[in-house]
Every structure is written in C-alpha cells, then in structure tokens.
Amino acid sequence: SAADKGGWSSFMAKEVSEEPDAVANTLRGRVRDGHVVIPELDGMDELFTNVSRIIVIACGTAAYAGLVGKYALEQWTRIPVDVELAHEFRYRDPVLDPGTLVVSISQSGETMDTLMAVKYARERGAKTLSICNTQGATIPRESDAIVYTHAGPEVAVASTKAFVAQITALYLLGLHIARVRGWARSGTEESMQVLELEAIPGKIARILEREQERIEQLAHWMADTRSVLFLGRHVGYPIALEGALKLKELAYIHAEGFAAGELKHGPIALIEPGQPVFVIVPSPRASADMHKKVVSSIQEIRARGARVIAIAEEGDVAVLPFADEVLRIPLAEPLFEPLLAVVPLHIFAMALATAKGLDVDQPRNLAKSVTVE
C-alpha cells in the first residue's frame, strides 16, 4: 500500500532513498575506537588465520557486490580472491580444501543457486561465511559464520539498498580479516579506512540531494533510447555491470557493462553516433595513470559520436571537454567510490523505467528471490 511506501511513488524510490541508512546501519555497532569489531565473528579468528584463498559466490547484483569486495579484500588481506556466479560453481569440480573460505552473498538468504553452492563447498571441506540481509534465512543457517547486512527489508524486486549494504559488509570483513592476520600493526591505516567508511552515508545523501533531479531529467530525455553502454575500470568496473543490469531489469533496455580497458579489444565497434555511454571515471587519486587512460577512452568514443555521461568526482575537470553530461560524486577513499558511483545509476534506471511507464517494483519475468535452480 501507499502507506508502506512512506509517501514514495514506489518501494524502489523509497529503498534508493534509504541507501545512506543501509550503509550506516551496516556499520553501526561494528566500529569501535577506529577499529572494525564484528561481534558475530568473536572467537572465530581461526576461520581467517588458516585461509589461503577466498571464493565469493552469489547471483545477480550480489555477485557484483562480490566483485567490488575482491579489490578491497585482496588489497588489505593479501589473500587471493575469486568471485564466481553460484550456478557456475558446482558443476566444474572446483578446487576446494580446508584452506578455502567460501563467502556467499545473498540479500534474501534463500537463492537456491547460492544455497546449493554453499552446501557443495561445505561438503568438500571448505569453510563458509554468509553475508545476508535476512535474519535466520537458510543460507546463513547452512554457513559456519554470518555477517548480516542491515539494509532493512527490501521489497522492490531489483536490489538497490541491499547492494550498498553488501559492499559495506565486505569492506568490514576485509578490514577484520586484515587485522586478524596482523595487517597495519599500528592500526592507523585501519582507522583511516574506518573514518572514510563512516563518511560514506553523508556523501550518498549529498548525491541524492544534489543530482537526483538532474538524473531524472536526463532519463526523461532518454526514454526512447534502445541501448546504453556502461564503462568502468578497477572498482568502477563492477559498477558498470550493475548499472547495465539495473537498466535491463527495470527499463527492458539492452544494456551492457564493460571494463574500460577492454573497449579497444572489441566493444568500441558498437559505438556509433548518438550511442549513450555512461563512464565511471576513477579518482585521479587512485592512480593518475589509470584516470588518464579512462579519460582517453572517453575521447575515443566521443570521437566516434558517442553521447558520454560521465560519473566523476567533484573537481575532476579533465572530463569536462569530452563529456556531454557530468554527474558528480563527492571525494572519497577511492576503494569506497562504488558506494557513491552506483547511486546515480540506480536513480537513472529507476527514472528511465518510470518515464516509460513501467512498474519499477515488479519488473516482468523477475522474482525477488529465486528459490529454484
């Protein structure tokens, strides 16, 4: 009912507006004196000290959260991380042993593909940890350890606030594992990251305040678009995939996400005059070189007539001469930028679907929780 939507036009509009809270609530009670403290993992250090490999398994949007997590987990823990779609996992005889930690990610905790992969991993001796948004769901019950996301109930079929909560939980897990394994003995690096993380909810709120109307206007103009491409690099790459998935799910538009560096190896053939391309521009503070490469990708597609919509941090003027539109995100620790860059893409997909008169909460053919394999 309208009351449940709290005055919003859809559950999705409400849930996107709750993205700052989803992050803040997932952090709540898990940070103390600049350290990450995850009470659910108390006394479980052994789970992390003996790990030589992490495999993240999930489906859909949750798998993209996993891809973001890979960058942070490897950087902080130095443990190799693979991310796999749950349904691709178990029929290929994966290498699993007691030194493997399988981290599953699921909003519902009931996705059958993910559940079966967790059970399979466990039977073959791997350790399992579940990141889940639903208390007492099946996947956490089948796992050795649980880290709950606290996004609150998500009603719209396509996942939004749960996604930012999942990424947040992965950051917390990464910092936790790193500390257990003796990283940053002084603790200063950890507390710097923690401070940066705690600043994220306010920055998401700022994007919602400052950019929402402009993005809605843009979506309105683009209501007849038949195809949209998304480019990203490093942690922006999974966000490009998520931006494309949301547009398919909500607006039934053909959309594809690419790693920006892959452009010249194929996708650039798709660029023709008028083709809209979203580009998630990495912070020059992450790597001046990487930033420059993405800007030159923008130049290349622009030269072929693409209509470029850049998502770039405040103050990044290098993109201005080549972008048709620039959507701004506040400055943040580069590893945490996915939590910001995804917000305009969620708003865009929702607004475009709305402009087409579609039901954003209940897209055709989709189910919130897929409990069949």
Among the candidate windows 55-63, 172-180, 182-190, 333-341, which touches ligand G6P by CB under 6 A?
Answer: 55-63
Residue 56, H or E segment: strand 53-58
Shortest Å, Cβ 202 to ligand G6P: 26
| 130 sits near ligand G6P (criterion: CB under 6 A) | no
Among the candidate windows 107-115, 190-198, 204-212, 321-329, which touches ligand G6P by CB under 6 A?
Answer: 107-115
Q: Judged by CB under 6 A, which of 10, 25, 100, 106 binds ligand G6P?
A: 106
Shortest Å, Cβ 129 to ligand G6P: 15
The footprint of ligand G6P on residues 155-184 (CB under 6 A) is 157-159
* Alpha carbon distance 200, 212 (integer Å): 17
Q: Judged by CB under 6 A, which of 15, 27, 55, 60 binds ligand G6P?
A: 60
Select 180 or 370, whichever has its Cβ closest to ligand G6P. Answer: 370
Judge contact between 22 and 165, C-beta under 8 A. Answer: yes
H helices present in 236-287, as ranges: 236-251
Judge contact between 291 and 268, C-beta under 8 A. Answer: no
* Alpha carbon distance 256, 270 (integer Å): 11
| 114 sits near ligand G6P (criterion: CB under 6 A) | yes
* Alpha carbon distance 129, 79 (integer Å): 15
| 26 sits near ligand G6P (criterion: CB under 6 A) | no
Shortest Å, Cβ 159 to ligand G6P: 4
| 320 sits near ligand G6P (criterion: CB under 6 A) | no
Select 101 or 245, whichever has its Cβ closest to ligand G6P. Answer: 245
Indicate the DSSP class of residue 235.
Answer: T
As to burial, measured by CB atoms within 10 angstroms (0-12 exposed, 13-18 middle, 19+ buried), residue 288 is exposed
Give the residue closest to ligand G6P by C-beta: 60
* Alpha carbon distance 371, 373 (integer Å): 7
Shortest Å, Cβ 372 to ligand G6P: 11
Shortest Å, Cβ 163 to ligand G6P: 8
Among the candidate windows 104-112, 190-198, 235-243, 257-265, which touches ligand G6P by CB under 6 A?
Answer: 104-112
Annotated active-site positions, please?
Answer: 368
- Chain centroid, CA 268 distance in Å: 25
Shortest Å, Cβ 81 to ligand G6P: 19
Select 64 or 76, whichever has its Cβ closest to ligand G6P. Answer: 64
* Alpha carbon distance 298, 281 (integer Å): 9
The footprint of ligand G6P on residues 350-369 (CB under 6 A) is 366, 368-369
Count of residues near ligand G6P by CB under 6 A: 16
| 59 sits near ligand G6P (criterion: CB under 6 A) | yes
- Cβ neighbours of residue 258 closer than 8 Å, sequence gap 6 or more: 229, 230, 231, 232, 240, 267
The footprint of ligand G6P on residues 139-158 (CB under 6 A) is 157-158
Shortest Å, Cβ 104 to ligand G6P: 8
Select 135 or 296, whichever has its Cβ closest to ligand G6P. Answer: 135
Instruction: Tell me the C-alpha to C-alpha distance, in Å, between residue 116 and each of 60, 83, 226, 244.
Output: 16, 16, 36, 27
- The one-letter amino acid code at 310 reads A
Select 146 or 332, whichever has its Cβ closest to ligand G6P. Answer: 146
As to burial, measured by CB atoms within 10 angstroms (0-12 exposed, 13-18 middle, 19+ buried), residue 142 is middle
H helices present in the chain, as ranges: 11-17, 19-27, 46-49, 61-77, 86-89, 112-123, 138-141, 161-180, 188-198, 200-221, 236-251, 288-303, 338-355
Select 106 or 143, whichever has its Cβ closest to ligand G6P. Answer: 106
- Tokens at 340, concatenated: 């910001």
Q: Which residues bind ligand G6P (CB under 6 A)?
A: 59-62, 106-108, 111, 114, 157-159, 366, 368-370
